Homo-oligomer: A and B are copies of this chain.
Amino acid sequence: MDRKYDVITLGEILLRLSTPINGRLAQGDTLMKHLGGAELNIASEIGQLGLNTAIISKIPTNLLAAFIKNQLNASRVSENYLIEDHSDDSRVGIYYYEYGSYPRKPRVVYDRKHSSINNIEISDVPQTLFYNTRLFHTSGITLGLGGKAQDFAIHCIKEFKKQGTLISFDVNYRSNLWTGEEARKCIETILPYVDIFFCSEDTARLTFGKTGTINEIQKSFCEEYPISVVASTERTVITPKKHNFTSIIYSAKNDTYYRENPYNNIDVVDRIGSGDAYVSGALYGYLKHGDCQKALEYGNAMAAIKHSVIGDMVFTDLEEIDSIIKQHKNTSGYQSEMNR
């Protein structure tokens, strides 16, 4: 079967407006303008690594549409499934971001209610969509939007599954969208369709009521549902500007856990989107190499490098990520500080 895309994601495309680093929303006269949104980040980053990607989303037809489309194309994400919202009510969801420095936490203000994706309809997309990709990814953020967006997402999961598409899902719990209980109930209805499941240890415990070690938790998901792969990131916040990051992946097929040494003392320029970068790397590694070890390595490397870049997503390419992985593994030998 020859499918046009390797990955199609579904989610909201947000305008991200952030203060200059060290600045505050209450002061100054400048904002940085980027795009964000978990599923956009993932489609973009997998596209940069070289696979074919598309995003299903709905956006207004105003001047901001050009900004969005330019960015999608720059990241090699197809705009074929970008649905135009011609309603009077159309809007791009926004989030404002203020960078923190200890002891001042970073802060987020969401203004995403009533955005165009909340008007998405099954009739907005052609049925052929569901035949067209190897993997479909969405997250708990899209489900958490509720209403039509949730209905649409569940519809997509089922339809893609019918066509033998791999279903990837990241819980990505956001307390400002729904309660843990609402999230659990909804997600449990789609878990029977999921192949690759991203869930942090905290979320597993708090939202799904899991107990035991992380290994036990991961395995339990695969025992309850026909999930093949469970991936959980592990982050240690040393200071807001220094994090350690790694992950653990469980493969049900060979009942194996994959781990590697953390990236330690990561310089945190911008932490937002590092979880999405992890998903990007992991899906890339899995799809390209069919291998959880590669998923682990690409996931960790993408997440680690994301912290060094301003904005929701990293702009990188395969060559850079491969060199980061190589350097990370080379723990004993000589490492150049910079090549010149």
Contact = CB atoms under 8 A, between A and B. Distances in A.
Interface of A: 17, 21-34, 62-64, 66-67, 70-71, 73-76, 88-89, 91-92, 94, 96, 98, 100-111, 113-114, 174-176, 237, 239-241, 263, 265-267, 269-271, 301, 304-305, 307-310, 315, 317, 320, 324, 327-328, 337-340
Contact of A94 (B22, B24, B32, B94): B94
A178 B138 CA distance: 38
A3 to B, nearest CB: 21
A63 B26 contact: yes
A322 to B, nearest CB: 13
B113 A310 contact: no
A27 B239 CA distance: 28
B315 A24 contact: yes
A29 B101 CA distance: 21
A89 to B, nearest CB: 6
Contact of A111 (B92, B101, B109, B340): B92
B113 A89 contact: yes
Nearest to A323: B105
Contacts of A89: 113
A74 B63 contact: no
A92 B17 CA distance: 14
A166 B71 CA distance: 32
B34 A103 contact: no
| Total copies of the chain | 6
A22 B102 contact: no
B237 A337 contact: yes
A113 B96 contact: no
A109 B61 CA distance: 10
Nearest to A95: B340
Contact of A101 (B106, B308, B328): B308
10 contacts: A17-B31, A22-B269, A24-B315, A29-B32, A88-B113, A101-B267, A101-B269, A103-B327, A110-B340, A237-B337
A337 B71 CA distance: 29
User: Closest 4 CB pairs between A and B?
Assistant: A26-B66, A101-B267, A101-B308, A74-B74
A104 to B, nearest CB: 4
A117 B269 CA distance: 36
A108 B338 contact: yes
Given A103-B328, A267-B241, A25 B338 contact: no
Given A63-B107, A66-B317, A103-B263, A240 B337 contact: yes
Nearest to A307: B101
A176 B60 CA distance: 15
Nearest to A115: B111
Given A63-B107, A267-B241, A338-B100, A28 B33 contact: yes
Nearest to A334: B202
B27 A30 contact: no
